[in-house]
Structure 1
Amino acid sequence: MIIQPKTRGFICTTAHPEGCALQVQRQIDYVKSQPAITGPKNVLVVGASTGYGLASRIVSSFASGANTVGVYFDKAAEGARTASAGWYNSAAFEQAAQEAGVKSFSIVGDAFSDEIKAKTIDLIRTELGQIDLVVYSVASPRRTHPKTGETFSSVIKPLGETYTNKTVNFHSGEVTTAVIEPATEDELRQTIAVMGGEDWQMWIDELQQAGVLAETATTVAYSYIGPEITHAVYREGTIGAAKNDLEATAQRLNKQLGTAGGRAYVSVNKALVTQSSSAIPVVPLYISALYKVMKEKGIHEGCIEQMYRLFSERLYGGGETAVDAKGLIRVDDWEMRADVQAEVTQLWANLATENVYELSDLEGYRREFFQLFGFETEGVDYEAEADPIVDIPNLR
């Protein structure tokens, strides 16, 4: 079938297998072009099929030669419906890892569930023995609690007061004003339950109790802080409250693992085009302005560059891992440079529909959005027939 992009808001409902595979291969090629990292040997990535999770898995295998287990919730092709982008990404990764002689395994299912945790533990015990790095990179809009059965849904809202600021329809280029009403107490509670640290804690507890977590293991989860422009809807909103919970969990886990030489961190990463960030009002317009500034300064990074820098310079760079006053790893340091933020703020003040393509890299944002799903990728013939049915090697 000929596969074309079909969008619904900030979601693309189709994905192209060849485009996704090429995007994955280019990330692998980047990592292989860099110096090797003396790092982890057996890695679990929870949320492994897209974005920072996928990039973490690629860096682990192709910079450190690590064996990996990837846990993710993606769907295979069915009838006229393509598979999800994460499915195609994972198939490409697994194939490349297999060809490189690196062990890799995929578990598809609800990472929040007891069933998937137990299945993952059994696989680790059988195939790897123990793991020495756990990457927690889950991005989900909802979660069913494995003990209580309650289903929580997250919201992207400010706290306390109505939030008003510029936003953009990145498909049309129209700059408008977003008005977002504040979250209720229950919406806040549910967002923390979905996006906070409880499930990360559960993963580490169960891995440790099962004896499949190495005593000196490292675990890392990902977060974002961002500039004042986005604080009210992000860092000071419902998501920010969830991230605060995630960071508090990291401190608890660091004490829990530290008694035997293990460690736990939250890495604050750069703003990038992801399915999650596309859903947050204001953020796509901010990222578009940020991309323009960082590209002009020659310091722009994508997911793979960020994760290679995290692993090579921070987690496994030798010596003590550099953290800020709150104990956070900051690989958003280039984004948050004073000169970068000053120029972004200046652009922001003048952004409007009439000049958005001139004052920002909105076209780059839009292109990267479609590349998340395997489209608009140089080297792919999108008028040619493509088989949407792709098997994932080592799927358990």
Structure 2
Amino acid sequence: MNIQPKTRGFICTTAHPEGCASQVQRQIDYVTSKPAIQGPRNVLVVGASTGYGLASRIVSSFGAGANTVGVYFDKAAEGVRTASAGWYNSAAFEKAAAEAGRKSYSIVGDAFSDEIKTKTIDLIRTELGQIDLVIYSVASPRRVHPKTGEVFSSVIKPLGGTYSNKTVNFHSGEVSTATIEPATEDELRQTIAVMGGEDWQMWIDELQSAGVLAEGATTVAYSYIGPEITHAVYREGTIGAAKNDLEATAKRLNAGLATNGGRAFVSVNKALVTQSSSAIPVVPLYISALYKVMKEQGIHEGCIEQMYRLFAERLYGEGETLVDEKGLIRVDDWEMRPEIQAEVAKLWAELTTENVYELSDLVGYRREFFQLFGFETDGIDYEADTNPDVAISNLR
């Protein structure tokens, strides 16, 4: 079939297998062009099929030579419906890992469930024995609590008052004002339940109880802080409250793991084009301005560059892992340089529909959005007949 992008708001409902495979290979090529990392040997990535989770798995396997287990919730192709981008990404990763002689296994299902945790533990015990790094990179709008059955749904809202700021329709280029009503107490509670640290804690507790977490193991979850421009809807909103819970969980996990030489961190990463960030009002316009400034300064990074730097310089570099006063790893340090933020703020004040393509990198933002789904990728013939039915090797 001929596969073309079909969008609904900030979601692309189709994905291109060859384009996704090309994007995965580009990340692999970047990592293999860099010095090898003396890091983990057996790695579990929870949320492994896109974005920072996928990049973490690639760096683990092709940068450190580690065996990996990836847990993710993606769908195979069915009839005229393509598979999800994460499915195609994972198929390409598994194929490349096998060709490189790395052990790798995929578990597809609800990472929040007891069933998938048990299945993952059984696989680790049988195939790897123990793991020494757990990456937690789950981004989901919904969670069913495994113990109570309660269904939680997250929202992207401010706290305490109505919020208004500029935003952009990245398909049309129209800059407008987004106004968001504040979250209720129950919406806040549910967002924390979905995006906070409880499930991360459950994963580590169960891995420890099962004896498959190695002595001295490290675990890392991902977060974002961002600039003042986005604080009301992000860091000081419902998502920020969930991230605060995630950071509190890291402190508890670190205290427990430290008794056996282990570590737990939250890594604060750079703002990048992801399905999740595309859904947050204000953020796409901010990222478009940020990209323009960082590309002009020659310090722009994507997911793979960020994750290589995290592993090579922070987690497994020489000396102790560098953290800020709150104990957070900051690989958003280039984004948050005062001179970068000052230039972004200057552009922000001037941005309108008429000048958005001049004052921001909206073209680059849109291209990266479609590349998440395998489109707008160099070297791919999008007019060719393409088989959407792609199998994942080592799918358990």
TM-score, normalization by structure 1: 1.00
C-alpha distance in 2, partners of 1:342/1:318? 32
Q: Following TM superposition, where does structure 1 have runs of at least 4 consecutive aligned residues deviating by more than 6 angstroms?
A: none
| Aligned equivalent of 2:151 | 151
Amino acid at match of 1:320: E
Specify the SS of the correspondent of 1:259. Answer: helix
C-alpha distance in 2, partners of 1:208/1:215? 10
Post-superposition Cα deviations, 1:96-146, rounded to whole Å, max 9, x if no partner, equal 000000000000000000000000000000000000000000000000000
| Aligned equivalent of 1:317 | 317
Post-superposition Cα deviations, 1:221-258, rounded to whole Å, max 9, x if no partner, equal 00000000000000000000000000000000000100
| Aligned equivalent of 1:69 | 69
Residue 249 (structure 1) aligned with residue 265 (structure 2): no
| Aligned equivalent of 2:120 | 120
| Aligned equivalent of 1:163 | 163
The aligned runs of 1:48-197 (5 Å cut-off) are: 48-197=48-197
C-alpha distance in 2, partners of 1:294/1:385? 38
Residue 343 (structure 1) aligned with residue 343 (structure 2): yes
| Aligned equivalent of 2:38 | 38
Please report how far the alpha carbon of residue 217 of structure 1 lies from its aligned counterpart in structure 2 after TM superposition.
0.2
The aligned runs of 1:250-265 (5 Å cut-off) are: 250-265=250-265
Post-superposition Cα deviations, 1:134-193, rounded to whole Å, max 9, x if no partner, equal 000000000000000000000000000100000000000000000000000000000000
The aligned runs of 1:302-313 (5 Å cut-off) are: 302-313=302-313
C-alpha distance in 2, partners of 1:139/1:245? 15
Specify the SS of the correspondent of 1:293. Answer: helix
| Aligned equivalent of 1:203 | 203
| Aligned equivalent of 1:359 | 359
C-alpha distance in 2, partners of 1:352/1:35? 43
Specify the SS of the correspondent of 2:202. Answer: helix
Post-superposition Cα deviations, 1:278-301, rounded to whole Å, max 9, x if no partner, equal 000000000000000000000000
Identity of aligned residues (%): 87
Post-superposition Cα deviations, 1:294-348, rounded to whole Å, max 9, x if no partner, equal 0000000000000000000000002100000000000000000000000000000
| Aligned equivalent of 1:331 | 331
C-alpha distance in 2, partners of 1:17/1:372? 11
| Aligned equivalent of 1:29 | 29
Specify the SS of the correspondent of 1:175. Answer: strand
Residue 213 (structure 1) aligned with residue 223 (structure 2): no
Specify the SS of the correspondent of 2:102. Answer: coil
Please report how far the alpha carbon of residue 57 of structure 1 lies from its aligned counterpart in structure 2 after TM superposition.
0.1
C-alpha distance in 1, partners of 2:384/2:336? 43
Amino acid at match of 2:351: L
Amino acid at match of 1:203: W
Specify the SS of the correspondent of 1:34. Answer: coil
Residue 7 (structure 1) aligned with residue 7 (structure 2): yes
C-alpha distance in 2, partners of 1:344/1:88? 35
| Aligned equivalent of 2:301 | 301
Post-superposition Cα deviations, 1:23-81, rounded to whole Å, max 9, x if no partner, equal 00000000000000000000000000000000000000001000000000000000000
C-alpha distance in 1, partners of 2:101/2:117? 26
| Aligned equivalent of 1:394 | 394
Specify the SS of the correspondent of 2:378. Answer: coil
Residue 377 (structure 1) aligned with residue 358 (structure 2): no
C-alpha distance in 1, partners of 2:285/2:242? 23
Please report how far the alpha carbon of residue 94 of structure 1 lies from its aligned counterpart in structure 2 after TM superposition.
0.1
| Aligned equivalent of 1:282 | 282
Q: Extract unaligned runs of 5+ from structure 2.
A: none
C-alpha distance in 1, partners of 2:364/2:65? 32
Amino acid at match of 1:326: K
RMSD of aligned Cα (Å): 0.2
Amino acid at match of 1:151: V
Please report how far the alpha carbon of residue 261 of structure 1 lies from its aligned counterpart in structure 2 after TM superposition.
0.1
| Aligned equivalent of 1:231 | 231
| Aligned equivalent of 1:270 | 270
Post-superposition Cα deviations, 1:185-235, rounded to whole Å, max 9, x if no partner, equal 000000000000000000000000000000100000000000000000000
Please report how far the alpha carbon of residue 363 of structure 1 lies from its aligned counterpart in structure 2 after TM superposition.
0.4
| Aligned equivalent of 2:292 | 292
